Amino acid sequence: MPRHVRAEPRPWPWIFAILSVLVAAALVWGGISLLGGRPAADSGSGQETPPATTTAATSAAVPTSTASSTPTPTPTPTAKPALVPDYVLPPIQNGLAPVLTRVPTEQKVVFLTIDDGANKTPEELQILKDNDIKASLFLAQSFILDNPGFFKDFVAAGHKVEDHTLTHPLNLIKMPYAAQKAEICGMADYVEQTYGRRPVFFRPPGGPYTDNVRRAVAECGMKAVIDWEAKANAGGMDYQVGQSLRPGEIVLMHFRKEFAADMAAFLAAQKAAGLQVVLLEDYLATG
């Protein structure tokens, strides 16, 4: 390029210089305001990221944060480590609800279930509170009709009422299907009306179940049959497998006169095994 061609528009470089300074200033200003706005937007999504300390997450991790996280006002002085469940409850298949006798996990968790509802003393709720334990309560109507309100305090404290039939028939599996369904659906309806939440789990009286029971549980709108492989009984522990609590163990207890002694046995076993007591409904994200 010949020099004279470029030399002609002398004023332009100055204008360009001024313009570029203005543009640069505008960009810097915009950048600052963008940065200023960013933290508010980021903090929301940042909190959803699971803590780095948690173990391998599966899709089960997602529902736990949204599901039944009833904002219990308990201040929980003992902060428990964050737990991301590694097991997902199977869906109803061929009209049959899945059955769990233990949650297949190696995570250091144990689940407490308390049945029937015959014995009712304020001490029982207090013991659970003192130990910061939430339990699933498999109640049968015939045991609680004298004082159903007793268990409303449990519900308010974060415990879940589940289905254990209307009349606790130990021959449930031998009854005609319609009668089984009446026992199972009837209690689900009653629990929903009385405690404001439809049960998600069913426990057969005595434990035995058949496909008919599993079918009725599904048809009554519930998600699983829950049995057990360990129980606190007469102030001691009974194990169907091994001699101590295993990870994922579902423990059976009862509202009986021996409640305090049974709970002491459970707590000793739970601590010896180094397991954290978790609410089954929370772990399985069933609400």
Q: How far apart are CA 180 and CA 165, in angstroms?
A: 9
In this structure, the number of other CB atoms found within 10 A of the CB of residue 150 comes to: 16
For residue 112, which of 235, 263, 6, 242 has the smallest C-alpha distance? 263
In this structure, the number of other CB atoms found within 10 A of the CB of residue 226 comes to: 29
Question: Closest separation between CB of residue 245 and Zn ion, Å?
Answer: 21
Among all chains, which residue has been given the structure tokens 């528009």?
Answer: 9
Among all chains, which residue has been given the structure tokens 């009554």?
Answer: 220
Residues 194-213 contacting Zn ion, CB under 5 A: 205
Question: Closest separation between CB of residue 106 and Zn ion, Å?
Answer: 29
Question: Closest separation between CB of residue 115 and Zn ion, Å?
Answer: 4
User: Which is nearer to Zn ion, 195 or 228 (by Cβ)?
Assistant: 228
User: Which is nearer to Zn ion, 86 or 116 (by Cβ)?
Assistant: 116
Site map for Zn ion, 84-123, x if CB under 5 A? -------------------------------xx-------
User: Which is nearer to Zn ion, 205 or 248 (by Cβ)?
Assistant: 205
Angle at 262 between CA 227 and CA 248, to 5 degrees: 40
Residues 203-262 contacting Zn ion, CB under 5 A: 205
Q: How far apart are CA 130 and CA 260, in angstroms?
A: 12
Question: Closest separation between CB of residue 130 and Zn ion, Å?
Answer: 25
User: Which is nearer to Zn ion, 86 or 183 (by Cβ)?
Assistant: 183
Question: Closest separation between CB of residue 116 and Zn ion, Å?
Answer: 5
Number of residues that bind Zn ion (CB under 5 A): 3
Site map for Zn ion, 159-178, x if CB under 5 A? --------------------
Q: How far apart are CA 18 and CA 1, in angstroms?
A: 25
CB 187 within 8 A of CB 164: yes
For residue 267, which of 77, 80, 112, 100 has the smallest C-alpha distance? 112
- Residues at the contact surface with Zn ion, assessed by CB under 5 A: 115-116, 205
